[in-house]
């Protein structure tokens, strides 16, 4: 099991990378975290409830104004793909679906539209959020970019408009019709807290994570997911079709009993997609309540039910994620596993498990070994803490 390197270590890497590429220290450093969702999956774009937390893994951007005073654009280097790109800072720019630079470009355009014109700059991006792992590497990049623009302009964006601007960049520049969970979490994360987010009212209720004994273990199946592939957008369309047929603004407006009464109006597949969403909303609210009461057994039960629903009704799991959840379930409460489920957009990526602190090493070892034996693949296992949202590390804001 690996512990994430502290933020300071990644910050030093960003500074060193900037100095190596540009021959001077950066004037600004900003960080934005990835997130893991404990429960409330595929609910945000249905106006529903989610319960994520920001994790202690980040995208860091190191930046300065260009050495060349005649420069008019942004030059950005991504260490993850080892590539420089040039981006427009003064006007419209063409979307670049599927390319990391699209996320940055989309946010630059959105910031400018919000009255924060970044001006030309040079930047280096480093990250320890696994790419395509369902931990919001893309939202972290978007939110880090918006935070950099705040630092460059010396002006703050309010948290919700900042998250919405980043979401819009993902819609328009990456072609992914995502909900608001990831960007909200990366902007608004709180140390030690899960965030119960009502995706209709956008009200955020920080919810403490279950006392000192329960820790969050993330297991990356290392099966890559790509939300740009179309499965995610297809699910969103099915949900909207179900809400339309049943005459409600969003699936948020249905209870499980209400859906059952109208079952005959939906074809079986659409019904099952809707059933996942309406039952997940109930599970998420129940999990937040159970956490407040300290009833971890109930949280675990709800996490298992969430996984089964995502696997069977929503069909966004995959054999590797199912295996990881089964391995954790086989260890069970007696071995220190409180609950386990797939997390994030699906079709690969990670599981999230609540694990008793004393059992962490053992659980990590047993799940990792079991996975290797059955699939021949190595899983990446790490423990994480609920962390603060995006911030300026160097260069400050007024």
Give the active site residues.
Answer: 182
Q: Measured from the CB of residue 136, what is the shortest distance to ligand GLA in angstroms? A: 6
- The strand pairing partners of 341, in sequence order, are 352
44 binds ligand GLA (CB under 6 A): yes
Using alpha carbons, select from 85, 59, 66 the residue that is nearest to residue 23.
Answer: 66
CB hemisphere CA count around 171 (13 angstroms): 14
106 scored as a contact of ligand GLA (CB under 6 A): no
Q: Which is nearer to ligand GLA, 185 or 393 (CB)?
A: 185
Rank residues 132 and 179 by Cβ distance to ligand GLA and give the closer one: 179
Q: C-beta of 44: minimal distance to ligand GLA in Å? A: 5
Question: For the sheet containing 28-37, what is the strand order?
Answer: 83-87, 74-78, 121-127, 52-64, 28-37, 391-394
- Give the whole-angstrom CA distance, residue 140 versus residue 146: 10
Interface map 334-373 toward ligand GLA (x if CB under 6 A): ----------xx----------------------------
Site membership for ligand GLA, residue 181 (CB under 6 A): yes
Among 15, 17, 41, 122, binds ligand GLA (CB under 6 A): 41
110-149 residues in contact with ligand GLA (CB under 6 A) are 136
Q: Any contact of residue 48 with ligand GLA (CB under 6 A)?
A: no
How far apart CA 79 and CA 59 sit, in angstroms, is 11
CA dist 96 and 106 (Å) reads 9
Check binding of 42 to ligand GLA (CB under 6 A). yes
Interface pick for ligand GLA out of 18, 45, 314, 371 (rule CB under 6 A): 45
Other CB atoms closer than 10 Å to residue 20's CB: what's the count? 9
Q: For residue 114, which phi and psi values (nearest 5 degrees)?
A: -85, 5
Nearer to ligand GLA, 339 or 345 (CB): 345
Q: Determine which helix (DSSP H) or strand (DSSP E) holds 32, and give its type and residue range.
A: strand 28-37
Q: Under the criterion CB under 6 A, does residue 11 sit at the interface with ligand GLA?
A: no
Between 136 and 220, CB nearer to ligand GLA: 136
Is 280 one of the binding residues for ligand GLA (CB under 6 A)?
A: no
What is the smallest separation between the CB atom of 37 and ligand GLA, expressed in angstroms? Answer: 6
Min. distance of Cβ 333 from ligand GLA in angstroms? Answer: 26
Site string for ligand GLA, 237-276 (x = CB under 6 A): ----------------------------------------
Nearer to ligand GLA, 105 or 136 (CB): 136
The correct pick among 26, 33, 179, 300 for binding ligand GLA (CB under 6 A) is: 179
Q: How far apart are CA 277 and CA 50, in angstroms?
A: 11
Residue in this structure with the two tokens 């899983």, named with its chain if needed: 379
Token digits of residue 177: 């019709």
Find the shortest distance in angstroms from Cβ 342 to ligand GLA: 10
How many residues belong to the site for ligand GLA (CB under 6 A)? 12
Are the C-beta atoms of 385 and 34 separated by less than 8 Å? no
Sign of CA pseudo-dihedral 137, 390, 59, 1: negative
Upper half-sphere CA count for residue 239 (Cβ side, 13 Å): 27
Which residue in 171, 136, 132, 126 sits closest to 55, CA to CA?
136
Q: How far is the CB of 180 from ligand GLA (least distance, A)?
A: 7
Q: Which of 108, 124, 129, 178 binds ligand GLA (CB under 6 A)?
A: 178
CA angle 218, 219, 222 (to 5 degrees): 135
Q: Is 386 in the site for ligand GLA (CB under 6 A)?
A: no
Stretch that binds ligand GLA, among 11-19, 150-158, 174-182, 284-292 (CB under 6 A): 174-182
* Helices (runs of H) and strands (runs of E) counted in the chain: 11, 13
Across the strands, what pairs with 197? 50, 204
Residues binding ligand GLA (CB under 6 A): 37, 41-42, 44-45, 136, 178-179, 181-182, 344-345
């Amino acid at each position: 099991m690996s512990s994430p390197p502290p933020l300071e270590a990644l910050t030093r890497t960003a500074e060193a990378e900037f100095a190596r590429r540009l021959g001077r220290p950066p004037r600004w450093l900003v960080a934005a975290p990835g997130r893991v969702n404990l429960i409330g999956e595929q609910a945000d774009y249905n106006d529903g409830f989610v319960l994520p937390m920001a994790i202690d893994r980040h995208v860091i951007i190191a930046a300065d104004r260009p050495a060349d005073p005649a420069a008019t654009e942004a030059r950005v280097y991504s260490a993850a793909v080892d590539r420089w790109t040039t981006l427009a800072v003064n006007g419209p720019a063409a979307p670049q679906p599927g390319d990391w630079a699209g996320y940055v470009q989309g946010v630059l355009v959105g910031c400018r539209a919000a009255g924060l014109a970044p001006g030309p700059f040079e930047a280096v991006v480093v990250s320890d959020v696994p790419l395509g792992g369902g931990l919001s590497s893309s939202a972290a990049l978007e939110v880090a970019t918006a935070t950099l623009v705040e630092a460059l302009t010396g002006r703050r964006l309010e948290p919700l408009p900042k998250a919405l601007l980043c979401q819009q960049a993902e819609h328009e520049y990456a072609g992914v019709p995502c909900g608001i969970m990831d960007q909200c979490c990366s902007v608004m994360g709180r140390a030690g807290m899960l965030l119960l987010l009502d995706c209709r009212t956008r009200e955020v209720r920080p919810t403490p994570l279950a006392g000192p004994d329960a820790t969050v273990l993330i297991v990356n199946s290392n099966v890559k997911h790509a939300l740009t592939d179309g499965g995610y957008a297809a699910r969103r369309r099915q949900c909207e079709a179900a809400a339309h047929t049943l005459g409600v603004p969003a699936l948020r407006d249905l209870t499980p009993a209400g859906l059952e009464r109208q079952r005959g109006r939906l074809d079986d597949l659409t019904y099952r997609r809707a059933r996942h969403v309406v039952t997940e909303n109930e599970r998420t609210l129940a999990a937040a309540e159970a956490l407040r009461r300290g009833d971890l057994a109930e949280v675990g039960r709800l996490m298992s039910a969430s996984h089964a629903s995502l696997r069977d009704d929503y069909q966004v799991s995959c054999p590797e994620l199912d295996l990881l959840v089964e391995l954790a379930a086989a260890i069970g409460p007696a071995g220190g596993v409180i609950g386990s489920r797939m997390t994030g957009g699906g079709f690969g990526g990670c599981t999230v498990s609540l694990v008793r602190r004393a059992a962490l090493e053992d659980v990590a070892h047993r799940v990792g070994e079991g996975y290797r034996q059955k699939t021949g693949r190595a899983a990446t296992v790490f423990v994480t803490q609920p962390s603060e949202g995006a911030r300026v590390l160097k260069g400050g804001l007024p």
